[in-house]
Amino acid sequence: MKVPATILKIHGIFIASLGFTLFIGTLVGRMNGIGMFWFLQVNIVAAIGFHEAYFLVGLLGLACFIGSRSKNLLHWQCLIISLHIFLMVVNLLHWSYYSQLKMIEAGYLSTNMHLLFALIEIGMILKDKKFRRLKGEI
């Protein structure tokens, strides 16, 4: 298996695991008012959005894991890059909420991880394109 495919597979596993774990965390927070999503117990509308968003992130991670077996990785890499850029922009647009909820460290960690993963996948696209050009495939 080529390095870009391996990176996409690991990335998919990580994102799927994180998305589904955070989905469970939102359920616990909504039902019991505990954990990092304690505030969802009193905010039903936000809870619905968090449930949907984290489950979709998990599904996208799973899709990229499956897509890592594809012959053409570019579509899957672009999908996961788009996800990370979108989530990073959302974090930045709503940065004040991290502060209000006293979760500023989580905001820094989350935003920087989205940037890091997007850059890794961009690097894999560029590396693969350069390699294919050297072999005369492009």
pLDDT digits (tens, 9 = 90+) for 18-64: 999 999 999 999 999 999 899 999 999 999 999 999 999 999 999 99
Supply the pLDDT for residue 38: 92
CA distance 96 to 33: 21
Confidence band, pLDDT 50/70/90 cuts, at residue 66: very high
pLDDT at 133 over 70: no
Res 35: pLDDT: 92
In the structure encoding, which two tokens stand for residue 50, read together? 């968090």
Evaluate whether 126 touches 110 at the Cβ level (below 8 Å).
no
CA 123 to chain centre: 17
pLDDT, position 103: 87
Token reading at 128:
């693969």
65 vs 130: which has the higher pLDDT? 65
Name the nearest CA neighbour of 117 among 79, 90, 71, 66. Answer: 79
Write down the pTM of the prediction: 0.81
What whole-number distance in Å separates Cα of residue 39 and Cα of residue 29?
A: 7
pLDDT-derived band at 102, boundaries 50, 70, 90: confident
